[in-house]
Amino acid sequence: MGRARMIRSRDDLADLHRSSPDAPFWTAQHSPADEQDLVLVLVGGSDPLNAEDVPGCGVAVVSASPVRSLAIRGRTPPPCVADLGTGVQTIRDGELVLVDGARGEVLVDPTDRAVSAFQARLTGLMPSRRYFVDYAHETVRTPDGRLILVGGMVSQGIESADGPSYPIEEAVASGPDLIIVEAGCDAGLIGDLTPAAHGKPLLFRVHPEGCCEEALIRAGAWGDITVATPIGPRGAAVHRFRESLEAATETLVADGLETGPVRVAGWTREGIEEPAWVAESSIERLVVEIKPQASRPGTLLSPWLEEMLDAARSIAVPLYVAMEPSRLPWAADAVEAGIGGVFVPWPDVQPWKSALRTAAYADWQ
C-alpha cells in the first residue's frame, strides 16, 4: 500500500531514481501510508518494465500492460497487478492505492475496513484467529455474571548493563486481566513499566517501609495502579503506607506535578497474618499467596483461607489467590468459593482462564 506515482515514460522512472526520498512529490497530512512508499502506476507505452528499472521506493506496481518478472536482486520483489488496460487511467498522482498481488486486486482510496482485511491476510491473521486473540483478553465470567480475574505475574528477566529486564510486552500479549510485578523499592521500574503495560492494570508489590510512593502516585496518572503491602497487626502496615501515599500526593501537587489514584491491597502468605487484621485495615483488595503444603490435600480451601474469605467479604473487598501454575485442578474450588481472581506466572494465564471457564460452566445448562 502506498501513494500512486503515475509513470508515463522511462523518463518518469529516471526522475524517481534521481529524486531525493526526503522530498516527496506530493503533500499529504495524516497519511495512512508512508510518504516514501510509492505504488508505481505504469500508464503509457507497451515497452515492458525491466526489473532493474524499479526504484527502491516502489512498494508495488500496477500496470496497464503485461510486466516482466520483477525478481530484483537484493530485495523482495514488489507486489504487481498487470494487464489492467485503460483502468489505470482513473488513478491520480498521490492517491492512496492498495495492491494485493496475491488476489490481483487494486483498490484506490480503500476504506479502513478494506485496509484491515488486507493487513490480516498479509500477516496470516484470519478473522477467526482475530476473534480468539480478542477472546484471550476477555475476563472470565460465570453464568451469574461474576468476574474472575486472572493476573499474570512478571518476574525479573536477564540482567544487562542497564539493569534487569522484565518481559512486560510478552506478559501483556498473554492476555492477563492485570499484571503483577515485584517492584521492591525501585521507583524507576515503576515509571518504566507503567507505559509498557499498554493500559493493562498493574499491581506492584513493594516494601512496606515505602520509598517509592511518589513514583506510584505519578504512575497513577497514566495507568490503573494498585500497590500491595503486608497488612500487619490491626492493619498497621497498610495504614502507614496509605499515609505515606497521601503525603507524597500533597508534595507532588504542591510541585505542580500530575498525580493519579492508587489502590492499596494487602498481600499475605497463607497462615501468616490473622484474618481479623483484614477487617481492621483499609485495603481495597486482598491477595493471599497459597502454599500448597499448607492447604488441604487436593483442595484449594483451608480453614484459614475460608476465614480470610469471610473477613474480605465483611469489608466488601475481593480476595485473590497467588499460586503455582500446576494447581489447575483447583480452578473448580476457586469458582465455587467465590474467589475474586487467580494470580499465576504470565505464561500460564490462558490455561487458567480456560480451566476457570470450564469449571464455571460445568453444571450450567
20 shares a domain with 152? no
- Eight-state DSSP code of residue 71: -
Report which of residues 245 and 137 the model is more confident about: 245
Beta strands in the chain (DSSP E): 2-7, 38-42, 58-63, 80-81, 96-100, 105-108, 140-141, 147-154, 159-160, 163-164, 178-184, 202-206, 225-229, 262-269, 285-289, 319-322, 341-345
- Candidates 181, 188, 190, 198; CA nearest to 162 is 188
Report which of residues 139 and 126 the model is more confident about: 139
Residues above pLDDT 70, as percent of the chain? 73
Across the range 65-88, mean pLDDT stands at: 64
C-alpha to C-alpha distance for 78 and 59, rounded to whole angstroms: 5
Q: What is the pLDDT of residues 15-58, one digit of tens each?
A: 665 554 443 333 333 344 444 567 777 765 555 555 455 555 55
C-alpha to C-alpha distance for 81 and 108, rounded to whole angstroms: 13
287 shares a domain with 228? yes
C-alpha to C-alpha distance for 283 and 213, rounded to whole angstroms: 16
- Asked whether residue 127 is domain-assigned, the answer is no
Cβ atoms of 170 and 199 within 8 Å: the answer is no
295 shares a domain with 217? yes
C-alpha to C-alpha distance for 178 and 149, rounded to whole angstroms: 8
49 shares a domain with 147? no
C-alpha to C-alpha distance for 303 and 215, rounded to whole angstroms: 38
- Candidates 76, 3, 79, 84; CA nearest to 42 is 84
173 shares a domain with 111? no
Query: Which pLDDT score is estimated for 67?
Result: 62
Which cell numbers in the block locate residue 41? 502506476
> How does DSSP assign 270-306, residue by residue?
TTTS-HHHHHTS--SEEEEE--GGGSPTT-S--HHHH
179 shares a domain with 42? no
- Asked whether residue 104 is domain-assigned, the answer is yes
- Asked whether residue 52 is domain-assigned, the answer is yes
Range from 24-28, 137-141, 232-236 carrying the lowest mean pLDDT: 24-28
- Asked whether residue 150 is domain-assigned, the answer is yes
Cβ atoms of 338 and 359 within 8 Å: the answer is no
Q: CB-based contacts of 281: which residues, under 8 Å, 6+ apart?
A: 231, 234, 235, 238, 239, 266, 315
- Asked whether residue 132 is domain-assigned, the answer is no
Query: Which pLDDT score is estimated for 103?
Result: 77
φ/ψ (deg, to 5) at 96: -75, 130
Q: What is the pLDDT of residues 251-307, one digit of tens each?
A: 999 999 889 999 999 999 888 888 888 888 889 999 999 876 545 566 888 888 999
332 shares a domain with 196? yes
- Eight-state DSSP code of residue 229: E
Cβ atoms of 341 and 128 within 8 Å: the answer is no
Query: Which pLDDT score is estimated for 297?
Result: 60
Q: What is the pLDDT of residues 336-351, one digit of tens each?
A: 999 999 999 999 999 9
- Last residue within a domain, chosen from 67, 97, 122: 122
- Last residue within a domain, chosen from 92, 122, 152: 122
- Last residue within a domain, chosen from 79, 96, 122: 122
221 shares a domain with 103? no
Q: How many structural domains does the chain have?
A: 2
Q: Is the dihedral of CA 278, 281, 286, 287 positive or negative?
A: negative
User: Whole domain around residue 96: which residue ranges?
Assistant: 2-122
Strands 159-160 and 163-164: antiparallel
- Candidates 237, 241, 240, 239; CA nearest to 227 is 241
Report which of residues 139 and 112 the model is more confident about: 139
> How does DSSP assign 106-157, residue by residue?
EEES--HHHHHHHHHHHHT--HHHHHHHHHHTSPEE-TTS-EEEEEEEE---
Query: Under DSSP, is residue 25 helix (H, G, I), strand (E, B) or coil?
Result: coil
* Polymer length of the chain: 365
- Which CATH number fits the domain that encloses residue 16? 3.50.30.10
